[in-house]
Amino acid sequence: MVQEMAHPFSKYLRAEMMPHIWCTGCGNGVVLNCFAHALDELQLDLDKLVVVSGIGCIGRTAGYINADSFHTTHGRALAFATGVKLANPELEVMVISGDGDLFAIGGNHFIHAARRNIGIKVLCVNNLNYGMTGGQQGPTTPLGSITTTSPYGNIEHPFNLVHLAAASGATYVARWTTLHVRRLTQSIKRMLQKKGFCFIEVLSPCPEIYGRYNKMRSGLEMMGWFRKASVIDSFSDPSKAEITPERIAVGEFVDVEKLSYERMLHEKISKINEEAMEKVS
Amino acid sequence: MPKVKNILTGAHFLNGDVACAEAALVAGCRFFAGYPITPATEIAETLSMRMPELGGIYIQMEDEIASLAAVIGASYSGLKAMTATSGPGFSLMQENIGLAVMTEAPCVIVDVMRAGPSTGQPTMPGQQDVMQAKWGSHGDYGIIALTPSSVQEMFDLTVEAFNLSETYRVPALLMADEIVGHMWEKVVIPPMDKVRIVNRKKPNVSPEEYKPFLPDDDLVPPMACFGEGYHFHATGLTHNESGYPRTSSSEDQTRLVNRLCEKIQKNADKIVRVEEVMLDDADVAVVAYGIVARAALSAIKKAREKGIKAGLLRLITLWPFPEEHVAKVAQHVRAIAVPEMNCGQLVREVERAARETPVTFLSKLGEEPHTPTEILDAIRRAA
Amino acid sequence: MPERIRHAALDKETIKQVKTEIHLIKDECKGCGYCIEYCPRKVLEESDEINARGVHPPKVVDESKCMNCGFCTAVCPDFAIFVIEKPNEKDVKHAKS
């Protein structure tokens, strides 16, 4: 056992910002690891990568990745990313954010970005609650869960995110858990090589808060739930892919080609600009 | 409208909103994200047609919050970017104005003010957002706000707003009222080589040495953009010069927030613009802005005819507030009258700067600005 | 295992047994236990020592059992463990059944 070598993915991480702030067993670290792994396998040009994140524990990811990054206001990552991508379509724009940021306050921006099919790649890390602020219920909190703002048990039906993303028009929709590290890495790679709006939901343990309130005190116990309940059901009906204690449908649900917004926009602009310039001369 | 060309150099008969849109194009704006709202919709409609002609991007976002977020994103991608709205949308944008201030993103936000509060009277004028322009977002910060009194100024000040936002890496607000936004007047658009355009300072160090929020002596940091190889981080959290979050450091908070305020305050002498009319020997001064200043100009001329030595201090910059100009005027006049189309907003700043000199406030709400006679009566009472 | 199933692998002449180096950045470990739990060869177990974070990092039980599947490297949330192939080891050996 040798101890002096640096981790092979150190070059994807900002040294001054590490170690990250995430708790023991937090899935955010696993997602960051998978993302770095995907970047490494693709040998993506880091100069062209922009990571945009929202507010939340996973929102800190933008600070950790060694690329141009921006940490926006709560829920607005997709709107901000829209401006970035349209202004410079050569950039690879990743939005890495959480379930509350993307689907509660950010819900409206999500469905419109997906509808427009803007070539933004979204990684939604779903830890089933609002972790950063101490564990409140969110739009993906399972029915009956105990959280700090649903102390008697959550009575709100949660979103089925893959269904929502597919219905909104995303061209790539996948769900994995932090247990499925290899498949998640491959999904991220697939996403980065596709055009159009892509979405991956990653179920992630929040052992210190969500897990503690809901009888899964350690990351291992939550991962144990993933292991027991996950079933790979690729290209099955997204509307039937709700997450229940007994069944977590994972896999790739949608993988289609559709004309992206920025391609249509820039083709139109070129054409109109050419015609306008001809009139000038 | 004349046949489509690149920049519409020449004399035109335009409404304020259209003049603003054309000015944005002249200033080099190539990204507009907006949402329809009376009375600013014409800016969006004009740019939806004109932007692609100049190779720029127009997008209608799902709401005003998204509009400003997209504008900040485009600014960070290197484009000059603008949005336009009115009161209700301006309120929605406040959180992201804070983000633009905190991340020092150059951008222009046009607020064609209408009668408020809330939905109010969408087609009626107001000057009710002028305090909100400075204090609307939470936290302490400096911001620049300009206000036009004519359609030509709608044009000129839009260009100026872009230049100021690029110079100081701060959102620049154009606080127009609905009347200036919708009225039609002659506008002269100069040839491009006669227009002063300012672009943001770029870094002259290597990516390894670059610190995105390390200011120069003018308190403004040079700005790298996405895709230039700098791999920098920007966040709305309190941050250090390297851009990294510093949420537990009192020193970083003190240093950063003070700099964001001083960036504007200490450069106020280079930013503030006013117009002084017949103030040198005045006994009574009227301090006014926007469409109301036009009536005020008429009023002081009438007052002079009647033998009252009246003068006008027309504010072109609302924020930073032209306190030195007001203080200087206050020193040699007997009284100051401030007509506003609100219930008393900028008058508070005038009172503060005028110190002992008595200040009278004239409120007017509704579809018409103050008439010259109303302002003349106030001048008479004050004299 | 029944006799009829236990036969030699068809590529046993060419397959090589990987020799690996397991790198532990001990003070980065937060003690989540994922690497220990999910290693298919049970190469790791919790050690008794306490690291700078006050948790028990893993320790290697038998490095030779590691077959470089890379799962621990991929699943560690803290970039505290990684496995690489031992450099310059190109021995050809029979695969173990």
Asked whether the predicted pLDDT for residue C5 surpasses 90, the reply is no
Best mutation site among A21, A185, A218, A223 for testing chain C: the one with the most C CBs within 10 Å?
Answer: A223
Residue C17, pLDDT > 90, answer no
CATH of C29-85 among 3.40.50.11540, 3.30.70.20, 3.40.50.10310, 3.20.20.70: 3.30.70.20
Identity of the residue in B3, B69, B237 whose CB atom sits nearest the CB atom of A71: B237
**Residue to substitute from B231, B232, B237, B238, interface A, most A β-carbons within 10 A:** B231
Q: Where would I find the beta strands (DSSP E) of chain B?
A: 10-15, 29-34, 57-60, 80-85, 107-115, 121-125, 144-146, 171-177, 184-189, 233-235, 274-277, 284-288, 310-315, 317-319, 335-340, 359-363
Mean pLDDT of A261-266: 95
Query: In A65-155, which ranges are E strands?
Result: 68-71, 92-98, 120-126
Domain that holds residue A61: 20-280
With touching defined as 3 or more inter-chain CB pairs under 8 Å, the answer for chains C and B is no
Which residues on A lie below 8 Å from B5 (Cβ)? 276, 279-280
Closest Cβ opposite residue A29 in set C22, C26, C78: C78
- Determine the average pLDDT of the residues in C3-20: 75
Mind telling me how many Å the CA of A87 is from chain B's nearest CA?
5
* Residue B191 Cα, gap to closest chain A Cα (Å): 14
Per-residue confidence (pLDDT) for residue A199, from 0 to 100: 98
B225, B213, B113: which is closest to B173 by C-alpha? B113
CB atoms within 10 A of CB A46: 16
Q: Which of A33, A41, A230 to mutate to test the interface with C (most CBs of C within 10 A)?
A: A33
Q: What is the pLDDT of residue B4?
A: 39
| pLDDT tier for residue A151 given thresholds of 50, 70 and 90 | very high
What are the boundaries of each domain within chain B? 10-194, 273-382
Residue A4 lies in a domain: no
> Are B54 and A56 contacting, i.e. CB atoms less than 8 angstroms apart?
no
Question: Average pLDDT, stretch A154-158?
Answer: 97
> Please, what CATH class does the domain formed by B273-382 belong to?
alpha beta
d(CA B32, CA B37): 15
Q: Evaluate if residue C13 carries a pLDDT over 90.
A: no
Out of B52, B55, B233, the one facing A62 most closely (by C-beta) is: B233
For chain C, the domains span 29-85
The mean pLDDT of chain A is: 95
Q: How far is A24 from chain C (nearest CA, A)?
A: 5
The verdict on a CB contact (< 8 Å) between A88 and B226 is yes
Residue A15 within a domain: no
What local confidence, expressed as pLDDT, does residue B135 receive?
A: 97
**B10-194 and B273-382 have identical folds:** yes
pLDDT > 60? residue C50: yes
Q: In this structure, is residue A13 part of a structural domain?
A: no
| pLDDT for A1 | 47
> CA nearest A77 in B: which residue?
B69
Distance to chain A for B106, nearest Cα, Å: 14
Write the CATH number for A77.
Answer: 3.40.50.970
User: Mean pLDDT, consecutive 10-residue segments, chain B of 383 residues?
Assistant: 62 97 96 97 96 95 98 98 98 98 98 96 96 97 98 98 98 97 97 94 96 97 97 97 96 98 97 97 97 97 96 98 97 96 97 96 96 96 86
The pLDDT-based confidence of A8 (bands split at 50, 70, 90) is: very high
**Closest Cβ–Cβ partner in A60, A71, A276 for B236:** A71
Q: Residue A9 falls within a domain, yes or no?
A: no
Q: For the packed helices A107-116 and B64-76, what is the interaxial angle rounded to 10 degrees?
A: 60
- What is the reported pLDDT for C92? 45
The yes-or-no reply on C/A contact (3 CB pairs or more, < 8 Å) is: yes
Contact A108 B77 (CB under 8 A): no
pLDDT surpassing 60 at residue C97: no
Q: Tens digits of per-residue pLDDT, A111-128?
A: 999 999 999 999 999 999
CB contact under 8 A, C77 and A5: no
A16 burial via Cβ count (<10 Å: 0-12, 13-18, 19+): exposed
Residue B72: other Cβ atoms inside 10 A: 31
pLDDT exceeds 70 at position A76: yes
**Total tally of structural domains belonging to chain A:** 1
How many residue contacts between A and C have a Cβ separation below 8 Å? 78
Say which of A48, A81, A273 has its CB closest to residue B73: A81
**A217 in any annotated domain:** yes
CATH topology of domain B10-194: Rossmann fold (3.40.50)
User: Using one digit for the tens of pLDDT, what is the confidence trace for B287-344?
Assistant: 999 999 999 999 999 999 999 999 999 999 999 999 999 999 999 999 999 999 999 9
Q: CB contact, 8 Å: B55 with chain A?
A: yes
**Predicted local distance difference test score (pLDDT) of residue C4:** 61
Taking only residues 182 to 221 of chain A, the set having a beta carbon closer than 8 angstroms to any beta carbon of chain C reads 182, 185, 218-220
On the question of pLDDT at A191 being above 90, the answer is yes
pLDDT computed for residue C96 by the predictor: 41
pLDDT in tens, A207-252: 999 999 999 999 999 999 999 999 999 999 999 999 999 999 999 9
Q: Which of residues 64-123 of B touch A (CB under 8 A)?
A: 65-67, 69-79, 81, 95-96, 98-99, 103
Cα distance from A225 to chain C (closest Cα, Å)? Answer: 14
Of C28, C32, C75, the CB nearest to A19: C28
The residue-averaged pLDDT of A201-207 equals: 97
According to the model, what pLDDT value does residue A281 have? 67
Between helix B346-354 and helix B323-332 the angle, nearest 10°, is 60
